[in-house]
Amino acid sequence: MFDKILISRCFLGENVRYNSEIIPLKHELLTLWQRQDRLIAICPEVSGGLSVPREPAEQQLNNKIITISGRDVSAQFNLGAKQALTLCRQHNIRFALLKESSPSCGTTLIYDGSFSNKKILGQGVTSRILTQEGIKVFSENNFEKLINLLDKTDRY
């Protein structure tokens, strides 16, 4: 039995990004994992009720998520994160592959809340909740680490 992996929907080339840009993560293993039916995809922001396209949003120092026009969308971000966690529990997921720097999915970096394109160390809302629950999160920047880990843990 293979481990299932939670994955950001935008990595699969789906139109879920805030600006409607399609940026798939291309890797032969992703194609294989899709064929093996081991990818469980979610866009926490869309699942939380936000539209495509939507205003850019960034995490503030108080952990609230505010859009560039000042709208508080923390509730939608938190709802999407809870849905991601529910999926992980339903599928016994221990690993997630998430888009770096997103206010939901960022695993080690997020934008600093000033909308000036500056990144700081930190995790997006979903990434943080999954990490707190013991799920190991990876991004496109350390995808190789996930591959190595799965090589060691895959149960046939």
From its phi and psi, is residue 20 left (phi > 0), alpha (psi between -120 and 50) or beta?
left
Among 17, 38, 54, 128, binds ligand SF4 (CB under 6 A): 17
CA atoms of 119 and 137, how far apart (whole Å): 19
Contacts of 80 (CB under 8 A, 6+ apart): 42, 43, 44, 45, 46, 47, 48, 49, 50, 104, 125, 126
Q: Name the one range near ligand SF4 by CB under 6 A: 5-13, 63-71, 89-97, 111-119.
A: 5-13
Between residue 84 and residue 113, which ones bind ligand SF4 under the rule CB under 6 A? 99, 102, 104-105
Task: Compute the least distance from the CB of residue 152 to ligand SF4, in Å.
Answer: 27
What are the structure tokens assigned to 29, written together?
A: 């293993």
Between residues 7 and 38, which has the closer beta carbon with respect to ligand SF4? 7
45 binding ligand SF4? (CB under 6 A): yes
CA atoms of 114 and 58, how far apart (whole Å): 8
Between residues 25 and 150, which has the closer beta carbon with respect to ligand SF4? 25
Q: Name the one range near ligand SF4 by CB under 6 A: 2-10, 29-37, 114-122, 140-148.
A: 2-10
End-to-end CA distance of the chain: 5
Which residues here bind ligand SF4, judged by CB under 6 A? 8-10, 16-17, 43-45, 99, 102, 104-105
